[in-house]
A and B are shown apart, each in its own frame.
Chain A
Amino acid sequence: MGEIHLKLIHLTKKYGKFFAVKNMNLEVEKGSFTTILGPSGCGKTTTLRMIAGFINPDDRGEIYLGGKILNDVPPHKRNIGMVFQSYALFPHMNVFNNIAYGLRLRKLSIDTIKEKVKRVLKFVGMEGIESKMISQLSGGQQQRVALGRTIALEPEVLLMDEPLSNLDAKLRINVRNEIKQIQKNLNITTIYVTHDQDEALSMSDKIVVMNSGEIQQIGNSWEIYNKPKNKFVADFIGMKNFIDANVKNLQQNEIILDAKGLRLIMQNGENYNLSGGENILVCLRPEDIKITKVEPSMGMDNVLKGNIYQSSYLGRIIRYWVNIQNRQEFIVEDYASQHLLKGEVYLTFDKSKIQFIQYK
């Protein structure tokens, strides 16, 4: 654990009766890469804009940077850099003047400014485009200039508001890696906002999942992916199968569950803290379920017999919708199959693959 650099306490923003952000508490370590992940309207951008100072938080909310309260510091004095979703490059200035804009405000000499602009452009891989107008740049180039303009000011914290959402899919993955690399090299505390789970999982030291203005879970990529705390998080990071179940029998290694008459076996963990008769929500990823035509040999943990009623060929994978004894539907994703399966099938999955969410 590094030292805490940015701290949000009871951060709340209400518009009329609607909570854009509700009682948000967050600690961000120095030099870390934190991602706020959530669907549109979840309050992630509002949070970012409160940190940047464009919106004032409601009464009790406080923002601390390096131990100092930021609330009454106007946005132009916060030294928190922000990369905007639309890049917000000034269309009436060329690249040089865009990057120099904030440097000039810091009363630097023209030589220093020239030197810095040059260095920053080299840093983001865009040397020699100083005199180009913004309209002459492609989306990816604009993205890099926007990032360059922000880091040129050497901000204490870097905020990024969905910076890749305006790029096409291929470019997005390249730029994603570049941003991560730049962040590492500068060792700059970064808060990154996105609705893309792949982006969040691949870039972050810490992920904050938000919904309806509230934090749902904070954790590293592994925790978020493998141990979602509630149904929203599970759903958002790709758990597609949810099954209501009742705890029947607790054993040393295994827990026997009853899911509407289906018998499931789940691995017991150290801190599971389940009690007999308790109702839980079982989650399963589509890719963790195996699908076969032939009946599997004995000794598998969970074997279910069902019927495929819909399938979708997606190239790399095939997605099946399988009905189990008219009681439960499963979504299954299969990589191995050479050809489309039809009709009666067997679903098997390891007891260790079952995740669950407690209601209490």
Chain B
Amino acid sequence: MMSINNDGMKKCRHYLIKSIKFNSILGKIDLVHLIIIILGIILFIFVVFPVLKVFSYPSIEDYIYILSKSRSLRAIKNSLFITLISTSTATFIGFIYAYTMRYTNVPGKKFFKFISLLPLLSPPFVVALAWILLFGRRGLITYELFKTHWSIFGWKGLWLVQSIAFFPYSYLIIDGVLKEIDPSLEYAAENAGANGFYVFRTITLPLALPGILNAIILVGIYVLADFGNPIVIAGSWPVLPTEIFGRISGYYDLVGATGLAAVLLIPTFGLFMLNRTMLGGKSFVTITGKGTGLEKPLITGTVKWILFGFCLFIILIIISVYGILLIGSFTTTWGIDWSFSLNHWYILFGTKSRSLYNSIIYALFAGGGAAVFSLFATYFIYGKVFIGKKILDFLVILPAAIPGIFLGVGFLLAFNNPPLLLTGTSLIIIFGLMVWNIPLGYQACTANFEQITSEIEEGAINLGANSLQVFKDIIFPLLKSPFLAGFIMGFLRSITNLSIVIFLISPGNNTATAEMLSLIQYAELGPAIAICIALFGIALLVIGITQLFLGTGMAVFTKGGL
């Protein structure tokens, strides 16, 4: 509200702007440009600088040497191989899941949807951990039931685990596309004489194709960058992220680690660019426009129940994952002593409580910071016209292409020396997580910002508001919901992150996920599982609160723009 007795404030602002103008280096920079410059500096320090640091660390000879070693080549080959197969299965499961949820009226849909999103809330290696309890050397099924010493460590285990861990992403993306397909197209095909599978093959599938490709690309990036699952379950089968981690933690081989990190960035960046150019192109779905509000033609009969069975199988796996972990957290020693015990929880709330507390605090700051930055970037970078806008816009979104492990190594190298000496502080963890989460918040905000017509903004300016007032009075209130979605997503992703924090922790600044990893490495599964359950509980609590106060709940995942 603009009131008449605002004169004093107006003067103040006037002087403020004046003084800023005087003090600025170029002499005639206004507030808007000043903010843009500040945002640019932040992006340069926390995105460009670490990336350059990693790339420039090894010399050309080092690169040649690294790439000539068979161990490196094996990690590269394994990474590409697992990405290919895990992405395929995760996308396939996601598609079947999305199709079943949209095109059938199977019972318990809400429950199905809820369960399928649980893996998104979990620390990265939850599925792997449960898998070890079931199929590991002392696993419930492999050892207790079949008395074998076979275990799932290796690429097959990793494949299964990643398929389950990452299918929710493809489900959400493909579901978004299926939702947009005008059902009257499918009715028209039926009306022309096509039935069941023919309609699917000629209409539904081709129209869903952009979404499927999008899902493949995004899941591909996630699988390539996945560190938590392979470190727990792949055993001696190296992929790039675990190899990079091993070089640093095992051999202090920074040259080798940065060299491989640079190699890892190439395919993820390539996929990222592919996605950006593809989304820039037209998608079929939007052409027909006007939604008719019709219901989808429903699949019935045998096919419906086959689809139902498939989805049921998937959610039973997910439920068993969490069930087994819950049981595991109350079992004295898994595979040896099956008696009930609260010991793991005592450990969690005793010696490990500090890490859990740290994780929550870091996630709050990182999520909040990312959301605030996204909001500013939306209005002052996305919403303004200036020289170099495209570059800044690109830099905001770039962290989405950077694997966590790369970012971790980058921060490790970049902030090790004065004046930017952050190593050993909690700030470096917070900044690392914040940067990693900015693209999601930014995408959520800009998608909503697009829908605010420029006339609203012009209206405010016409009534006498300046840029900052427009931002405060118009833009922020209208972007509140993507802002909150960005904050919550950032919080959830931060609290469950391992790949970045693993390089940035220091004594006293440990996180719960890093603690979990070291416990698993020392074969102390019990307390690790307790931490895992605790983190998951916190995530559920956050979603519950979101649901309670905003009524969106799980919808933050779709709003977050993935």
Contact = CB atoms under 8 A, between A and B. Distances in A.
Interface of A: 49, 52-54, 74-77, 79-82, 84-92, 101-102, 105-106, 134-135, 149-150, 153, 166
A53 B188 CA distance: 11
B185 interface: yes
Given A86-B292, A90-B203, A149-B188, 18 more contacts: A49-B187, A52-B191, A54-B297, A74-B195, A76-B192, A86-B289, A88-B185, A89-B188, A90-B185, A91-B185, A91-B284, A91-B288, A92-B284, A105-B194, A134-B287, A135-B282, A135-B287, A153-B192
Nearest to A100: B192
B182 interface: yes
B450 interface: no
Nearest to B282: A135
Contacts of A135: 282, 287
B188 A82 contact: yes
A81 B289 CA distance: 23
A88 B194 contact: no
Contacts of A150: 191
A79 B182 CA distance: 22
B481 interface: no
B182 A88 contact: yes
B15 interface: no
A52 B187 contact: yes
Given A88-B182, A92-B284, A76 B191 contact: yes
A75 B190 contact: yes
A74 B207 CA distance: 24
Contacts of A79: 193
B184 interface: yes
Contact of A92 (B190, B193, B194, B206): B206
A53 B194 CA distance: 13
B192 A105 contact: yes
29 contacts: A75-B191, A76-B191, A76-B194, A77-B193, A80-B191, A84-B187, A85-B184, A87-B288, A88-B185, A88-B187, A88-B288, A89-B185, A90-B203, A91-B285, A91-B287, A101-B189, A101-B192, A101-B194, A101-B202, A102-B192, A102-B194, A105-B193, A105-B198, A134-B287, A135-B282, A135-B287, A149-B188, A149-B192, A153-B192
Contacts of B201: none
B290 interface: yes
A308 B379 CA distance: 54
Contacts of B184: 84-86, 88
Interface of B: 182, 184-185, 187-195, 198, 202-203, 206-207, 282, 284-285, 287-290, 292, 297
B293 to A, nearest CB: 10
A92 B207 CA distance: 7
A87 B184 CA distance: 8
Contacts of B188: 82, 84, 88-90, 149
A102 B190 CA distance: 9
A71 B58 CA distance: 74
B4 to A, nearest CB: 37
B287 A102 contact: no
Contacts of A87: 288
Contacts of A101: 189, 192, 194, 202
- What 9 A-B pairs are tightest by C-beta distance, nearest first? A102-B192, A88-B188, A88-B184, A105-B193, A91-B287, A76-B195, A91-B284, A84-B184, A75-B190
Nearest to A159: B191
A113 B184 CA distance: 24
Nearest to B289: A86
A197 to B, nearest CB: 23
Contacts of B290: 86, 166
Contacts of B189: 90, 101
A102 B193 contact: yes
A31 to B, nearest CB: 21
Contacts of A76: 190-195
Given A91-B284, A92-B206, A92-B207, A86 B192 contact: no
A88 B289 CA distance: 10
Nearest to B195: A76
Nearest to B207: A92
Contacts of B187: 49, 52, 54, 75, 82, 84, 88
B500 to A, nearest CB: 41
Nearest to B193: A105
B193 A86 contact: no
A208 to B, nearest CB: 22
Nearest to A106: B193
A86 B289 CA distance: 9
Contact of A153 (B193, B207, B282): B193
A150 B193 CA distance: 11
A150 B290 CA distance: 20
A74 B289 CA distance: 28
B190 A54 contact: yes
B73 to A, nearest CB: 41
A52 B288 CA distance: 22
A102 B185 CA distance: 13
A82 B203 contact: no
Nearest to B206: A92
A213 to B, nearest CB: 18
Contacts of B206: 92
A211 B290 CA distance: 25
B200 to A, nearest CB: 13
A91 B289 CA distance: 11
Nearest to A54: B187
A102 B282 CA distance: 27
B65 to A, nearest CB: 50
A243 to B, nearest CB: 39
A85 B195 contact: no
Contacts of B182: 86, 88
